[in-house]
Amino acid sequence: MGRQRGFTLVEVVVAFLLLSLVLVTVFEIFTRGLQRAGELDNYSRALAIAQSEIASAGVEDALAEGEMRGETDDRQFHWVMSVHKYVEDAQAQQAAQPAAYALYRLEARVGWQGGTGTEREVALSTLVLAQNK
């Protein structure tokens, strides 16, 4: 009687183990890629919110020093917008004559809850020339 052709039980079990390890690795890579894509989407939304807040500052009303807070309609993002007169040198400011215009520093901070439960934040700032009060 000749030898039978085919796979032994050990060979089949080893093949299934290798296949399962490859599948687990592929699923892990795919899952991490989806998580990263979600994080990047949240980051770009937060950046757009910060840019929007800076762009709208001083449009309807004159710039005034202070802080404004708010959140998006879905309550996923919260933001803080602060406006302060820009002071480069305190002595130079005291010696300077009152001017019709002043330089203001605008800073927008947007925060959100990350996928891992950690608090994430984006901050943008700029300088704007506006009428002095």
pLDDT band at 116 (very low <50, low <70, confident <90, very high): confident
Question: Is residue 3 assigned to a domain?
Answer: no
Domain count, the chain: 1
Q: Tell me the whole-structure pTM to 2 decimals.
A: 0.72
What average pLDDT does this structure show over 1-9?
Answer: 76
Question: Is residue 47 assigned to a domain?
Answer: yes
Question: Is residue 74 assigned to a domain?
Answer: yes
pLDDT in tens, 30-49: 999 988 898 999 999 999 99
| Structural domain boundaries enclosing 101 | 9-131
CATH of the domain at 50: 3.30.1300.30
Question: Is residue 4 assigned to a domain?
Answer: no
* pLDDT mean across residues, the chain: 88
Spatial contact of 103 and 131, defined as CB atoms under 8 Å apart:
no
Burial of 12 (0-12, 13-18, 19+ CB in 10 A): exposed
The C-alpha atoms of residue 79 and residue 28 are separated, in whole angstroms, by 34
Question: Is residue 2 assigned to a domain?
Answer: no
The C-alpha atoms of residue 86 and residue 70 are separated, in whole angstroms, by 24
The C-alpha atoms of residue 35 and residue 115 are separated, in whole angstroms, by 7
Spatial contact of 39 and 71, defined as CB atoms under 8 Å apart:
no
Which residues, 6 or more positions from 123, have their beta carbon under 8 angstroms from its beta carbon?
Answer: 50, 107, 108, 109, 110
For the cut 70, the answer to whether the pLDDT of residue 90 exceeds it is no
Question: Is residue 58 assigned to a domain?
Answer: yes
For the cut 60, the answer to whether the pLDDT of residue 80 exceeds it is yes
For the cut 90, the answer to whether the pLDDT of residue 133 exceeds it is no
Residue with the larger pLDDT of the pair 73 and 64: 73
pLDDT band at 29 (very low <50, low <70, confident <90, very high): very high
One-letter amino acid identity for 76? Q
Question: Is residue 70 assigned to a domain?
Answer: yes
Question: Is residue 71 assigned to a domain?
Answer: yes
